[in-house]
A and B are shown apart, each in its own frame.
Chain A
Amino acid sequence: MQRHLISAADLTRDDAVLILDTAEEMARVADRPIKKLPTLRGRTVVNLFFEDSTRTRISFEAAEKRLSADVINFTAKGSSVSKGESLKDTAQTLEAMGVDAVVIRHGASGAPYRLATSGWIDAAVINAGDGTHQHPTQALLDAFTMRRRLVGRDAGLGQDLAGKRITLVGDILHSRVARSNVDLLHTLGAEVTLVAPPTLVPVGVEAWPCEVSYDLDSTLSKSDAVMLLRVQRERMNAAFFPTEREYSRRYGLDGDRMAKMPEHAIVMHPGPMVRGMEITAEVADSDRCTVVEQVANGVSIRMAVLYLLLGGNEPAVSHARIEEK
């Protein structure tokens, strides 16, 4: 049995619900005077970050420490990572130190999968974002946030997101968050619509379990949650869209557009936000925007994933698809 979390697509509906339910219990720990559990005492987790991402690393680190794991941070920021050997060599160095799990962020799509399947190491591999491929814990924390807001904190236990209409807006092409969310939300029974200029939708998207629209305004009234994805300014120079202003006008979420959403609907963003580009300050600061909650929920979700993968003698989460590959 594999003990990795590489892709949101590897999770069954029951796996995903178990993670969300577990995270709900983990969230309660944050309300206690001692925000710590002894569960992973004696386990060593390394945060192997080949890409700079302070937010994600801190979130994992908080989760690991709350579960009493020993944490090693390894940031290979911008160093000699262009050569492939460094991933293998680094992995084997860590293996020699006896780590139980590797949380890896890497710029190359598939690097975590490679790490988990190449025989370089035995440790559990948790994907903290790889290239433009997957970011499964982000999708889980997003689903957790949606379930809390749209179903309810207690009412949501044991529940999925059946019938919820989720709209993802922005740079789908380059987004691992979009890929992970489409996979997970589909597994959880939600109806997903992607909205982007056609240049930022990947060729081959027709095989994804979702709808694609180029028109934000027509989807807003039919959305229970609208998730905005960051649009990097450098995409403009590669002719994905003409100007920042035109992008904002067609795909940015402002107060007028938010007003078209159903009253219960929420606005989400994985952060960091580019205010004025994909989201106006008015929307970002409104109480319908869950950005801050998402950050808090990230710690709970990562605690849940770490507990379910490392808390026992074998993982609780099944990964049928990885084993088939």
Chain B
Amino acid sequence: MDTQQYESDARPVLEAPDIARVLTRIAHEIVERAKGADDVVLLGIPTRGVFLAQRLAVKLEEITDRKIPVGSLDITMYRDDLRMHPPRALARTDIPGDGIDGRLVVLVDDVLFSGRTIRAALDALNDIGRPRAVQLAVLVDRGHRELPIRADYVGKNLPTSLRETVKVQLAEEDGRDTVLLGAKQTP
């Protein structure tokens, strides 16, 4: 995706300070709902969900003063649209050492859209272990769900049209923190 194009005609809906703020809020909500978060495992969905999970872990550790297990869960091989594209390069699946059995897994992703990614993530989790419960944290929920899935923690609800795109940029990958709303490019 061409970043330049985004910058020319996309407008930021969240800037770096906003992102930091909503992550702090989500961290507090997790602690609150998980009653201290002592069995929480954060699993980010590559690519940007992993960075968000790592940032959340830092914030949770600040709040709880405990080490929070954080990992990544690649859902590529569980996708339901595999036959519609060439195979994608796999990303890392990294389950923290103590596993997920009996724990509260919080899946972390950047944008919640159709829900198909999360469906695939639930399937993938199923092959890895049996959590006590699974919750979902996303930076942006842009609506247009195609499956009965909802997020437990949402950074920002962003009503969008299907002709729009939502692009999350994070410093670790993109050099800066921002969420951009733009028109779909028609090449």
- Chain A in direct contact with chain B (Cβ < 8 angstroms): yes
Please give the distance in Å from B95's CB to the nearest CB on chain A. Answer: 8
Q: Is the CB of B87 within 8 A of A37?
A: no
Q: Is the CB of A34 within 8 A of B127?
A: yes
Q: Is the CB of B84 within 8 A of A313?
A: yes
Q: Is the CB of B86 within 8 A of A313?
A: yes
Across-interface contacts of B129 in A (CB, < 8 A): 33
A10 at the A/B interface (Cβ < 8 Å)? no
Q: Decide if the interface of chain B is mainly helix, strand, loop or mixed.
A: loop
Chain B residues 67 to 112 lying within 8 A of chain A, measured CB to CB, are 74, 77-78, 82-93
A311 at the A/B interface (Cβ < 8 Å)? yes
Asked if A22 meets B89 with Cβ closer than 8 Å, knowing A32-B128, A38-B77, A38-B78, the reply is yes
CB-based nearest A residue for B127: A34
**Per-residue A-contact encoding for B107-136, CB less than 8 Å = 1, 0 else:** 000000000000000010011110000000
Complex Cα distance, B128 from A314, in Å, reads 28
Across-interface contacts of A38 in B (CB, < 8 A): 77-78, 123
Could you tell me how many residues of chain A have their Cβ less than 8 Å away from some Cβ of chain B?
22
**Per-residue B-contact encoding for A107-134, CB less than 8 Å = 1, 0 else:** 0000000000000000000000000000
A18 at the A/B interface (Cβ < 8 Å)? yes
Across-interface contacts of B78 in A (CB, < 8 A): 37-39
A251 at the A/B interface (Cβ < 8 Å)? no
Q: Is the CB of B86 within 8 A of A18?
A: no
Q: Is the CB of B93 within 8 A of A25?
A: yes
CB-based nearest A residue for B85: A312
Across-interface contacts of B84 in A (CB, < 8 A): 312-313
Chain A residues 266 to 307 lying within 8 A of chain B, measured CB to CB, are 307
CB-based nearest B residue for A26: B90
Partner of A33, one of B93, B123, B128: B128
Partner of A311, one of B77, B91, B126: B77
CB-based nearest A residue for B129: A33
Complex Cα distance, B85 from A314, in Å, reads 7
CB-based nearest A residue for B120: A38
Chain A residues 5 to 46 lying within 8 A of chain B, measured CB to CB, are 18, 21-22, 25-26, 28, 32-34, 36-39
**Listed A/B pairs (18) with beta-carbon separation below 8 Å:** A18-B89, A21-B90, A22-B90, A25-B74, A25-B91, A26-B90, A33-B129, A34-B128, A38-B123, A39-B78, A39-B82, A307-B77, A312-B88, A313-B83, A313-B86, A315-B87, A316-B86, A316-B87
Other A-B pairs beyond A307-B90, A311-B82, A315-B87, 20, CB < 8 Å: A21-B89, A25-B74, A25-B90, A25-B91, A25-B92, A32-B127, A34-B127, A37-B127, A38-B123, A39-B77, A39-B82, A67-B77, A307-B87, A312-B86, A313-B83, A313-B86, A314-B86, A316-B87, A316-B88, A316-B89
- A residues with CB within 8 A of B: 18, 21-22, 25-26, 28, 32-34, 36-39, 67, 307-308, 311-316
The 3 closest A-B pairs by CB, nearest first: A311-B87, A312-B87, A25-B90
